[in-house]
Amino acid sequence: MTRVIAEPRRREILRLIWDRELTAGEIAAHFDVTFGAVSQHLKVLRDAGLVNLRKDGRKRLYQADRQAMGPLADYLQSLWAARLDTLAALAEAAERSQK
């Protein structure tokens, strides 16, 4: 499983669909690669059991399966939280320097 998430784009896909469902097109819009490349990453994540797929009419909606990730879910969430904390600190420092 760790090999699957070693790829940075797959981790970013998981972050995007952590708390919500998105279509493959919505996910692909966040990347500078082809739709086909994103589709391949989604397949790898699905095959590893890290992503759920739900069909709604013609739409295919993807969402991270946090329960299936076990302790890995906590690790990923801590990575993203640390990035957000760093971003917030940078924004606050920039705001203070403008005063």
pLDDT digits (tens, 9 = 90+) for 7-32: 889 988 998 998 899 999 999 999 99
Task: Fill in the DSSP letter of residue 21.
Answer: -
Give the global pTM: 0.73
Angle between helices 8-16 and 35-47 (to 10 degrees): 80
* Low-confidence spans in the chain with pLDDT less than 70: 1-2, 73, 79-94, 99
Residue 35 lies in a domain: yes
Instruction: Give the domain range for residue 28.
Output: 2-93
Task: Tell me whether residue 62 is in a domain.
Answer: yes
What was the pLDDT predicted at 50? 92
Question: Does residue 46 lie in a domain region?
Answer: yes
Tell which residue, 66, 62, 63, 88, has the closest CA to residue 76. Answer: 66
Is the residue at 77 inside a domain?
yes
Q: What is the pLDDT of residue 86?
A: 59
For residue 4, the model assigns a pLDDT of 84
- What CATH number does residue 51 fall under? 1.10.10.10
What's the total number of domains in the chain?
1
